[in-house]
Amino acid sequence: METVTLTPKAQPDLYIDAENITPDAFAGKTAAEIAAFHVHEGNQTGLLGTYFDVSGKAGATAAETKIVIKGDVLKVKYIGMRMTAGEILVEGSADMYIGAWMEGGRIHVRGNIDAFSGTGMKGGEIEVDGNAGNYLGAAYRGDWRGMQSGTIRVHGNAGSDIGTFMNGGTIIIDGDVDVHVGTHAEGGTIIVKGNGKSKIGGQMVKGEIYVFGTIDVMMPGYVYRKDVDLEVDGTKATFAMYEGDMGERHGKRKGEVIYGHIYQKY
């Protein structure tokens, strides 16, 4: 695997859109060609080389390309957008839309990420050592297809609205989350190892949410069914199983109604 290293040098006045920072765009390019890629600061079009020192070279395909960003990119949006393969390592914190609509490959951020990361994600893996913002793995506005596949793992806390309209894939948060987890979900798994707040699993049709800590207020549409022993992401424990959201429509399989599930650890 070949590595391209981007070292931030100039801070933009405003923010830059850099949807070209993906293994797919970099594949087969030299450092000089990559430095000539376009980035957008408001209505101005600039060059990637203006904001980053580019070194190394890309592999022949996306899968053989690794991008290392040395430092914080707090004013850079859309890193890894729509990437299908390869790897991105951000050694600092990044802004919004990390791995939005990504289809494959792996993104690892050592710091924090902001909102809308993993929007409409279709595959691949995002790992964040710090905290994540709001709308992690959610759907784009008006879309009924949020995260569909892949894995997002956040070692810190996450904001609100995670996994909205999720219908596949897995989100694991080691810390706490804000309100609205898995709203409108029609599949997929969300594991919160810290505490939840309220509005968890609202309007959920199908899917699983595991909460290891507390839930301030349970949605009224959830009914306690039974206790179950489970192994969740390496943790064996007894969970209280709730079914719902009773206010929402639900499909049937083999004559049985399929509900969404919230599992809360004792």
Question: Would you tell me which residues interact with other proteins (CB under 8 A)?
Answer: 13-15, 17, 40-44, 77, 96-97, 115-116, 134-135, 140-142, 144, 165, 179-180, 183-184, 198-199, 202-203, 217-221, 223, 245-248
Asked if residues 261 and 207 have their Cβ atoms less than 8 Å apart, the reply is yes
Rounded CA-CA distance 251/117 in Å is 30
**Between residues 139 and 172, which has the closer beta carbon with respect to other proteins?**
139
The Cα angle at residue 244 between residues 242 and 248, in degrees rounded to 5: 175
For the CB of residue 116, give the shortest distance to other proteins in the complex, in Å: 7
**Between residues 151 and 203, which has the closer beta carbon with respect to other proteins?**
203
**Between residues 41 and 103, which has the closer beta carbon with respect to other proteins?**
41
Question: How do the residues of the chain divide into helix, strand and coil, expressed in percent and rounded to 5?
Answer: 5, 40, 55
**Between residues 187 and 202, which has the closer beta carbon with respect to other proteins?**
202
> Tokens 């430095």 belong to which residue?
35
For the CB of residue 193, give the shortest distance to other proteins in the complex, in Å: 24
For the CB of residue 2, give the shortest distance to other proteins in the complex, in Å: 31
CA 256 to chain centroid: 32
**Between residues 86 and 120, which has the closer beta carbon with respect to other proteins?**
120
For the CB of residue 206, give the shortest distance to other proteins in the complex, in Å: 16
Question: For 121-213, where are the E strands, in sequence order?
Answer: 125-128, 151-154, 167-173, 186-192, 206-211
> Tokens 């798994």 belong to which residue?
189
Pairing of strands 260-265, 235-244: antiparallel
For the CB of residue 138, give the shortest distance to other proteins in the complex, in Å: 10
